[in-house]
């Protein structure tokens, strides 16, 4: 049976994200140059050029840390364990499928398929990261997205949606009509595509300039909320 986007956990994340403080920032969206195709790509990464978000719990063993995170995932109906190692208890990953924001707030409906990875094989400390396999999806057509039995993201009734673009593509051209004066088959004409209008939900333009600061903050707060909620649970459980 297909899994519909859960409402309770995303709502909780939204409430948390509305109460973030400066010292509780964990993720930021950064530009990286595309060395192969040129241009830029956007990524959600830990702040301060760190590879992981570190959560310290002095005196706790890796087994205690692993069990606590596992129980945290099980306590939230919207989360699903994606990988676990109950023998060595050194690493686990879980996923969430949740709404980031709607068209009114983000210029498009944004939905996240997030994979959170947690390393527990260090003394006293958890290393938490946002997997590069995670994706954000975008739709302006009110598509209702689901996860299929094969773990693919699909829409009800095949309503159009796309993978979210942090960076707007460069303006291009597309065939728009056939001229009646172009001979037997006609001559193709083209029309300029203005991607600034086509992708208002994107954070950066093609040159790397921020053009939607609001969405940058909304998405960063959304992912910060994963760490804040996990930390709040573990603080009560382990301290």
Most confident of 16-25, 114-123, 175-184: 114-123
Residue 113 lies in a domain: yes
- Does 194 fall in a domain? no
User: Whole-angstrom Cα distance, residue 36 to residue 224?
Assistant: 30
Alpha carbons 99 and 116: distance in angstroms, whole number = 16
Of 33-37, 74-78, 143-147, 152-156, the range with the lowest mean pLDDT is: 33-37
Q: Average of pLDDT values for 42-53?
A: 95
Report yes or no: 137 and 163 within 8 Å, Cβ to Cβ: yes
Asked if residue 12 has pLDDT above 60, the reply is no
Place of tokens 């109906």: 77
CA atoms within 13 A on the CB side of 163: 8
* Cβ–Cβ < 8 Å for 109, 138: yes
Tokens of 190: 């083209």
Classify residue 187: in a domain, yes or no. Answer: no
Residue 226, in any domain of the structure: yes
Contact at 8 Å (CB) between 170 and 193?
Answer: no
Band the pLDDT of 202: cuts 50, 70, 90. very high
Domain membership of residue 61 as a residue range: 3-170+200-238
For range 128-138, the mean pLDDT:
96
* Cα 4 to chain centroid, rounded: 17
CA dihedral 140, 142, 147, 150 (to 10 degrees): -70
The answer as to whether 190 is a domain residue is no
The string of pLDDT tens digits covering residues 68-93 is: 999 999 999 999 999 999 999 999 99
pLDDT classification of 157: cutoffs 50, 70, 90:
very high
| Predicted local confidence at residue 195, as pLDDT | 74
Mean pLDDT, residues 49-67 taken together: 96
Predicted pLDDT of residue 173:
56
**Within a domain: 108:** yes
Residue whose C-alpha is closest to residue 66's, from 103, 120, 140, 9:
120
What CATH number did the domain enclosing 157 receive? 3.30.530
Question: Into how many domains does the chain fold?
Answer: 1
Average pLDDT over residues 207-236: 97
Please give the mean pLDDT across all residues of the chain: 87
| Residue 175 resides in a domain | no
Answer whether residue 182 is part of any domain. no
């Amino acid at each position: 049976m297909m899994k519909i986007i859960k409402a309770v956990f995303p709502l909780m994340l939204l409430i948390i994200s509305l109460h973030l403080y400066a010292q509780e920032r964990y993720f930021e969206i950064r530009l990286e140059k595309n060395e192969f195709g040129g241009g830029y790509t956007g990524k959600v990464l830990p702040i301060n050029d760190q590879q992981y978000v570190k959560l310290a719990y002095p005196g706790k063993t890796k087994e205690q840390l692993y069990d606590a995170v596992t129980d945290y995932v099980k306590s939230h109906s919207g989360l699903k364990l994606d990988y676990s190692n109950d023998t060595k208890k050194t690493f686990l990953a879980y996923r969430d499928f949740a709404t980031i924001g709607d068209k009114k707030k983000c210029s498009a409906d944004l939905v996240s398929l997030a994979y959170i990875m947690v390393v527990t094989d260090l003394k006293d400390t958890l290393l938490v990261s946002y997997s590069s396999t995670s994706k954000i999806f975008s739709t302006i057509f009110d598509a209702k997205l689901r996860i299929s039995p094969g773990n693919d993201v699909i829409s009800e009734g095949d309503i159009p949606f796309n993978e979210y673009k942090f960076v707007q593509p460069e303006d291009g051209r597309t065939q728009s009509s056939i001229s009646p004066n172009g001979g037997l088959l006609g001559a193709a004409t083209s029309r300029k595509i203005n991607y600034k209008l086509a992708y208002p939900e994107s954070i950066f333009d093609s040159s790397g300039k921020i053009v939607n600061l609001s969405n940058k903050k909304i998405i960063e707060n959304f992912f910060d909320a994963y760490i804040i909620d996990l930390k709040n649970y573990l603080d009560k459980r382990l301290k």
